[in-house]
Amino acid sequence: MTTTTAASLSDKNIPVDERLMFALDVPSNDEAMRLVSELGDAVTFYKVGLELFMAGNYFALVEWLVAQNKKVFVDLKFFDVPQTVASAVTQLTKYGASFATVHGNDSILKAAVAAAAQSELKILAVTALTSLDQGDIDDLGFKADVKDIVLSRARRAFEAGCAGVISSGLEAPALRGSLGQRIMIITPGIRPVANTDDQKRTVNVEQAFENGADYIVVGRPIKNHAGYDSPRDAALDIQRRIREVFA
């Protein structure tokens, strides 16, 4: 078993095979369904984002995934006036998704949480995208350390009733230190090996969970499967690594 910090390691009752979320970032529903079928039981949880939303028939795909006994994370980062976000979340509750991302201030987050309250849908607040580093944060006009921004947004999300936050694994230890196990942490930007793409604040599989993640989101390392014979083999190896962390 990998050495972990007991206070950071997730203690939530999550089936170990569901802790991996695959980012289903492909250009069409047909490609998405082909990939889901190829992955089979290697992946249970799917993040479905903007690329497939713009491809058309997005909610038909969400319903198809649910019918395949898969769990769905709708990553559309709702951001608008509170009433509009609440209306959008109300519409989304019809489709059986487990999680949805919301981006915004306290009023927006509270509106989303209230709209989802009578359903199984859980609201996740976006903190700072993992494609941004401190230089990008400075360029956007935020005169604060990226960790401080993530902590501030996470605390406000918790107070607004959000089930969890999207956070880099680099900030996850500070979140656990501040909020303990009370909030769920979903960590994207996972790079099982050395990173060479546009994600800047990255960690590997073991680091993410040791730092406090409840779930990790992995996309290109599985889809492109460098060093593996297939996306399924890449996913199975990540699942093996997750099991070893929680053994």
Show which residues are catalytic: 77
Other Cβ atoms within 10 Å of 129 Cβ, number: 17
d(CA 143, CA 160): 24
**E strand or H helix that includes residue 77:** strand 71-78
Q: How far is CA 105 from CA 66, 130, 156, 226, in A?
A: 30, 19, 8, 39
Distance from the Cα of residue 243 to its chain's centroid: 19
Specify burial of residue 174 (Cβ count, 10 A radius: 0-12, 13-18, 19+): middle
Check if the beta carbon of residue 8 is closer than 8 Å to that of residue 211: yes
Between β-strands 164-166 and 20-23, what pairing exists: parallel, antiparallel or unpaired? unpaired
> Token pair of 198, please?
């546009």
d(CA 90, CA 79): 14
Tokens 């109300």 correspond to 90
For 49, phi then psi, to 5°, come to -115, -150
Tokens 């058309």 correspond to 56
Check if the beta carbon of residue 67 is closer than 8 Å to that of residue 96: no
